[in-house]
Structure 1
Amino acid sequence: MLQESLIADLVTELPAAVRLQRLVSTLRNHFSCGAVGLLRLEHDVLKPVALHGLVREAQGRRFVVAQHPRLVAIMASRNPVRFEPDSELPDPYDGLLAEQPGSALPVHDCMGIALYVEGRCWGVLTLDALEAGSFSPAAVYELQRYSLLVEAAVRMTELEQANRALRLSHQADEQSFEPRAKQGYELIGQSSAITKILQ
């Protein structure tokens, strides 16, 4: 079951990239869709963090939010947004789907949700299916429900990365301090306080 799988990955120590890749793979299998993308917002640009079902080049793409009406709509809502198969809004993944690389996507289903971490918009989760009608109202509801676990996985990953960076910083500080400590220092002074410290 999806919930158990997502929770298991939350409590397992995994590298950030592995955790998030497993997350999108699990969601793709659960929703039986063609592609899932987890994109992080950085200065009005969405950058792919983990993708499944899109061509490899998609990982290097940058999506300027203002240039993609579907992404604008997803980010403007706190609830999942589903786009009807006949939606005239262009799909940001046209030509990037692994099953049909280089061509515009045929009539298909698409939905997404904005993700929030600590009250700020972190990015979006998008799902695309080639078959119209793949995302029922129940699937939209499920996406809403599971978005909390997705946000928890993102937060856990950020905390682990921050913790790792802090440890590396401390190690670097210790290494730069060590040689000085090994040089030894001579205390200069004859006061009674210095004498007590030396004793």
Structure 2
Amino acid sequence: MAEFPECRPAGEERSMKEMAENKSPSAGVRGWQIALLVGIFGLIILFYKGLWGNPSFIPPVIVGTAAPEITAPDLYQPREVTLSQFRGKVVVLNFWASWCLECKLEHQNLLAIQKRFGENPNFVMLGVNYQDKEDLARQYLQEHGNNFEHVRDLKGRISIDYGVYGVPETFVIDQNGVIRHKQIGPIVGETYTFLVEGLIEPLLNGTATTS
């Protein structure tokens, strides 16, 4: 027996066609919403990786670029200090805090660097006290010694500008205001030798290569 296609009333065919057409926008909206959720989820993952990632695996991306300007209050004197006032000099910028245990490990080496180069008019050592109480910062320097200038970074704005993940961190800036080296962690052992003999001295002598 011959089979014939099922016949539907014209009204029913139109109704089904309209339903199919009405489904298309909904599917498009759902696809857009899913893509948006995936994108947001990806951004959240990247944010938390950046927040809690291991700093030792993060490259010093700002090395070779101009050092961000600094305008901050002096730790001892009622005045502001700017990085631009040291243009033309080699600047060692050290981020520290009185509550930082590793800062104590490197402190005597920082004093030694200042003692070695401090009389050179083309050298500046500048400490950046990170989110610390003023009295505790001064007490720390009184107990451990101090022979160079310090400014205060109360809200952490300077640290953010320099991409500091935690103290101590140290930057070496050349005479043109370009960051030549970023040191994560305390300056001890071979790190100290490298900074002194492999970077600061060559910069002052005009014989340094890119770090």
Using structure 1 for the length normalisation, give the TM-score: 0.29
Identify which of structures 1 and 2 has the higher relative contact order when contacts are C-alpha pairs closer than 8 Å and 6+ apart. Answer: 2
TM-score by length of 2: 0.28
Q: Which has the larger radius of gyration?
A: 2
